[in-house]
Amino acid sequence: MRRLRVLWARVLGQVSQGREDAALDEEIHEHIALLTERYRGQGMSAQDAARAARRQFGNVTLLKERQRGQRGMLLVGELWRDVCFGMRMLAKKPGLHAAMVLTLALGIGANTTVFSIVDAVLLRPLPYAHPEQLMEVRSRQMAGAMPDGAVCYPDFFDWRAQSQSFEELVSYHGESLTLTGVERPQHLDGEVVSWNLLPLAGVKPEQGLGFRPEDEEAGSRVVMISHMLWVSQFGSDPRIVGRRIQLSGEAYRIVGVMPTTFRFPVDAPQNTFWTTLAVDNDGTPKANTANRGNHELAVIGRLKPGVASAQADAEMKAIAGRLAQKYPDTNTENNSAHVLSELTALLGDTRTLLMVILGAVGLVLLIACGNVGNLLLVRSRERTREMAMRSALGANRSRLVRQLLVESLMLSALGGLAGCALAFAATPVVLRLIGDSVPRVADAGVNLPVLAFALAVSLASGFVFGLVPAITSAQGDLLSPLKNGGRGETDGRRGLGSVVIVGQVALGIVLTAGAALLATSYAHLARSDEGFKTDHLLTFMFETPDSRYSSTRPEFYRQYFEKLRALPGVKAAAGSVILPMTDNSVHISFENPEHPLPKGQLESARMDLVSPEYFRAMDIPLLAGRDFSDADTENSPQVMIVSRGFAEKFFHGKNVIGKKLKPGAGNDGPPVWREIVGVVGDVRHGAMSQDLDPVYYLTAGQFSKWCCMYSVVRTGLEPLSLEPDVRRLVASMDGNIPVTDVRTMRDRIGFQLAQPRFAMVLLSAFAGLALVLTLVGLYGVMAYSVAARKREIGVRLALGAPRQMVFRMVLHQAAMLVAVGMGLGIAAALASGSILQAYLYGTGARNPIVLAGVCGLVAATGLMAAYLPARRAMQVDPALALRCE
Amino acid sequence: MGDRKSEVLQGTLDLMVLKTLYALGPLHGFGIARRIEQVSDGVLDLNEGTVYTALLRLQQQGWITSKWGTSENNRRARFYSITRQGTKQLERETENWGRVAGVMERVLKLERQT
From A2, A24, A57, residue closest to B48, measured CB to CB? A57
Question: What is the overall mean pLDDT for chain B?
Answer: 84
Confidence category of residue A880, pLDDT binned at 50, 70, 90: confident
- Average pLDDT score over residue span A364-374: 89
Mean pLDDT of A326-340: 85
Distance from CA of A90 to the nearest CA of B (A): 35
- Residue ranges making up the domain that contains A622: 544-736
In contact, A90 and B76? CB cutoff 8 Å: no
Instruction: Give CA angle at A585 (A579, A588), nearest 5°.
Output: 125
> Residue A613 — left, alpha, or beta (φ > 0 → left; ψ -120 to 50 → alpha)?
left
Residue A784: what pLDDT?
Answer: 81
Q: Do B48 and A24 touch (CB under 8 A)?
A: no
In angstroms, the first-to-last Cα distance of chain B is 40
Report which of residues A666 and A577 the model is more confident about. Answer: A577
What residue spans define the domains of chain B?
Answer: 6-109
Residues in chain B with CB shorter than 8 Å from the CB of A34 are 30
Question: Cβ contacts (< 8 Å) between A57 and chain B: which residues?
Answer: 47-49
The amino acid sitting at A104 is L
Compute the average pLDDT of residues A448-452. 89
- What's the rounded Cα separation, in Å, for the pair A768 and A511? 9
CB atoms within 10 A of CB A278: 22
Q: Using CA atoms, how far apart are residues A206 and A805, in angstroms rounded to an integer?
A: 82
- Strand boundaries in A695-832, DSSP class E: 695-699, 710-715, 740-744
* Other residues' Cβ atoms within 10 Å of the Cβ of residue A664: 15
How many whole angstroms from its chain centre is CA B27? 12
CA angle A562, A566, A572 (to 5 degrees): 75
Highest mean pLDDT among A135-149, A282-296, A379-393, A448-462: A448-462
Q: Is residue A137 part of a domain?
A: no
Q: What is the pLDDT, as a whole number, of residue A144?
A: 60
pLDDT for residue A674: 94
Together in a domain, A392 and A308: no
Residue A512 phi/psi, 5-degree rounding, is -65, -40
- Encode A3-46 in three state secondary structure: HHHHHHHHHHHHHCHHHHHHHHHHHHHHHHHHHHHHHHHCCCCH
pLDDT at A1 over 80: no
pLDDT, tens digit (0-9, with 9 covering 90-100), for A391-418: 777 676 777 777 888 888 888 999 999 9
Of B50, B60, B62, the CB nearest to A58: B50
Question: A507-520: b or e for each residue (b if 16 or more CB lie within 10 Å)?
Answer: bbbbbbbbbbbbbb
Mean pLDDT over residues A366-375, rounded? 88
State the CB neighbour count (10 A cutoff) for residue A401: 17
pLDDT per residue as tens digits for the range A243-296:
999 998 889 999 999 999 899 998 888 899 999 999 988 888 778 888 887 788
User: Are both A606 and A725 inside the same structural domain?
Assistant: yes
Amino acid identity at A164: Q
Q: Are A103 and A371 in contact (CB under 8 A)?
A: yes
Question: A248-261 pLDDT, tens per residue?
Answer: 888 999 999 999 98
CA distances from A336 to A172, A328, A599 (A): 20, 13, 19
Statement to judge: residues A781 and A851 lie in one domain? yes
The whole-number average pLDDT for the span B71-88 is: 88
Number of CB pairs, chain A paired with chain B, less than 8 A apart: 60
Q: CB contact, 8 Å: B92 with chain A?
A: no
Nearest to A104 by CA among A462, A407, A496: A462
Instruction: Examine the fold and report which residue of A14, A43, A73 is the final residue of a domain before the chain moves on.
Output: A73
The length of chain A is 885
User: For strand A222-226 and strand A250-258, is the pairing parallel, antiparallel, or unpaired?
Assistant: parallel
Distance CA A51, CA A862 (A): 60
Query: Could you tell me which residue, A11 or A248, shows the higher pLDDT?
Result: A248
* Encoded amino acid at B108, one letter: L
In a domain, residue A79? The reply is no
Q: List, as one string, the DSSP characters of A834-852.
A: GGGGGG-SSS-SS-HHHHH
Tell me whether residues A58 and B48 touch, CB distance under 8 A: yes
CB proximity A52 to B under 8 Å = no
A83 within some domain: no
User: Does the structure show a pLDDT above 50 at B23?
Assistant: yes
As a whole number of Å, the CA-based R_g of chain A is 38
Query: Does residue A534 sit within a domain?
Result: no
Q: How far is A27 from chain B (nearest CA, A)?
A: 7
Q: Would you give the distance in Å from CA A306 to the centre of its chain? A: 33
A171: part of which helix (H) or strand (E)? strand A166-180
The confidence score (pLDDT) of residue B5 equals 56
**Range with lowest mean pLDDT among A358-372, A468-482, A526-540, B81-95:** A468-482
Segments of A470-583 assigned E as strands? 537-541, 570-576
CA distances from A170 to A110, A209, A220 (A): 40, 18, 18
Q: Of the candidates A181, A584, A121, which has an alpha carbon nearest to the alpha carbon of residue A354?
A: A121
Q: Say if residue A562 is in the same domain as residue A696.
A: yes
Q: Kindly tell me if the per-residue pLDDT of A493 is higher than 60.
A: no
Please give the share of chain A, as a percent, with pLDDT higher than 70: 95
**pLDDT confidence of residue A198:** 94
B1 pLDDT higher than 50: no
Burial class (CB in 10 A: 0-12, 13-18, 19+), A799: exposed
Which pLDDT score, from 0 to 100, does residue A284 have? 81
Same domain, A317 and A357: no
In terms of pLDDT, which residue wins out, A110 or B110? A110
Give B53's contacts in chain A (Cβ within 8 Å).
63, 66-67, 70
Surface of B (31-90) touching A: CB under 8 A: 33, 47-50, 52-53, 56-57, 59-62, 75-78
Query: Which pLDDT value is given to residue A487?
Result: 47
Instruction: State mean pLDDT over A560-572.
Output: 94
The total number of residues shown for chain B amounts to 114
> What is the C-alpha separation between A265 and B108, in angstroms, rounded?
83
Q: How does residue A557 score in pLDDT terms, banded at 50, 70 and 90?
A: very high
Same domain, A729 and A758: no
CA angle (A322 as vertex; A666, A601 as ends), nearest 5 = 40
**Would an 8 Å CB–CB cutoff place A70 in contact with chain B?**
yes
- Mean per-residue pLDDT, A538-545: 90
- For residue A127, is the peptide bond before it cis, meaning its omega torsion is within 30 degrees of 0? no
A13 to B60: CB separation less than 8 angstroms, yes or no: yes
DSSP string spanning B48-108?
TTHHHHHHHHHHHHTSEEEEEEE-TTS-EEEEEEE-HHHHHHHHHHHHHHHHHHHHHHHHH
Residue B68: beta bridge partners?
B78
pLDDT of residue A170: 96
Which residues does chain B have within 8 Å of residue A10's beta carbon, measured at their own beta carbons? Answer: 60
Burial of A339: CB neighbours in 10 Å, binned 0-12, 13-18, 19+: buried
Percent helix, strand, coil in chain A, to 5, is 55, 15, 30
Q: Do A58 and B77 touch (CB under 8 A)?
A: no
Give the sign of the dihedral formed by CA A277, CA A282, CA A288, CA A290. Answer: positive
Beta carbons of A219 and A283 less than 8 angstroms apart: yes
Strands A603-610 and A695-699, how do they pair? parallel
CA–CA distance, A574 with A564 (Å, rounded to integer): 9
> 3-class SS at A75?
coil
Enumerate residues 6+ apart whose C-beta is below 8 A from A202: A128, A129, A130
For A57, which of B28, B49, B53 is closest by C-beta distance? B49
Give pLDDT, residue A710: 94
A647 and A554 together in one domain: yes
A67 interaction partners in chain B (CB closer than 8 Å) = 52-53, 56
Q: Could you give the number of structural domains in chain A?
A: 4
Q: Are A135 and A303 within 8 A, CB to CB?
A: yes
Kindly determine whether residue A70 and residue B53, on different chains, have CB atoms separated by under 8 Å.
yes
Nearest chain B alpha carbon to A59: B49
pLDDT value at A585 more than 60: yes
Question: What dotted CATH number matches B6-109?
Answer: 1.10.10.10
Query: Confidence class of residue A478 from pLDDT cuts 50, 70 and 90?
Result: low
Instruction: Judge whether A129 lies within some domain.
Output: no
Say if residue A624 is in the same domain as residue A684: yes
pLDDT digits (tens, 9 = 90+) for A150-182: 888 999 999 999 999 999 999 999 888 889 888
Q: Which of these, A217, A236, A214, A239, lies nearest to A227 by C-alpha position?
A: A236
The yes-or-no verdict on residue A565 having pLDDT over 70 is yes
The pLDDT value recorded for residue A486 is 44
Is A31 at the interface with chain B, CB within 8 A?
yes
Give residue A13's pLDDT: 72
Residues A306 and A438 in one domain: no
pLDDT of residue A444: 85
**Per-residue confidence (pLDDT) for residue A146, from 0 to 100:** 65
Rounded distance between C-alpha atoms, residue A294 and residue A320, angstroms: 16
Q: Are residues A710 and A825 in the same domain?
A: no
- Total H helices, total E strands in chain A: 29, 21
Q: Which residues contact A182 (CB under 8 A, 6 or more apart)?
A: A233, A245
| B77–A66 CB contact, under 8 Å | no
DSSP labels, A338-365: EEEEHHHHHHTTHHHHHHHHHHHHHHHH
**In this predicted structure, what is the pLDDT of residue A671?**
86
Q: Is the peptide bond before A369 cis (omega within 30 degrees of 0)?
A: no
- The pLDDT tens digits for A413-439 are 999 999 999 999 999 999 888 888 888
Q: Scanning every residue of chain A, which has its alpha carbon at the shortest distance from the alpha carbon of B85?
A: A2
Out of B49, B57, B77, closest to residue A30 by CB = B77
Choose the most confident range, by mean pLDDT, from A579-588, A726-735, A837-846. A726-735
Do A480 and A553 belong to one domain?
no
CA distance A6 to chain B (A): 5
Instruction: Say if the Cβ atoms of B28 and A27 lie within 8 Å.
Output: yes
Q: How far is Cα A430 from Cα A161, in angstroms, rounded to an integer?
A: 46
Average pLDDT, chain A: 86
Decide if A226 is inside a domain.
yes
Q: Which of A484-493, A554-563, A657-666, B90-99 has the highest mean pLDDT?
A: A554-563
Q: In whole angstroms, how large is the CA radius of gyration of chain B?
A: 16
**A742 within some domain:** no
Mark A144-166 as b/e (b = at least 16 C-beta within 10 Å): eeeebbbbbbbbbbbbbeebebb
Same domain, A356 and A424: yes
**CA atoms of A311 and A301, how far apart (whole Å):** 13
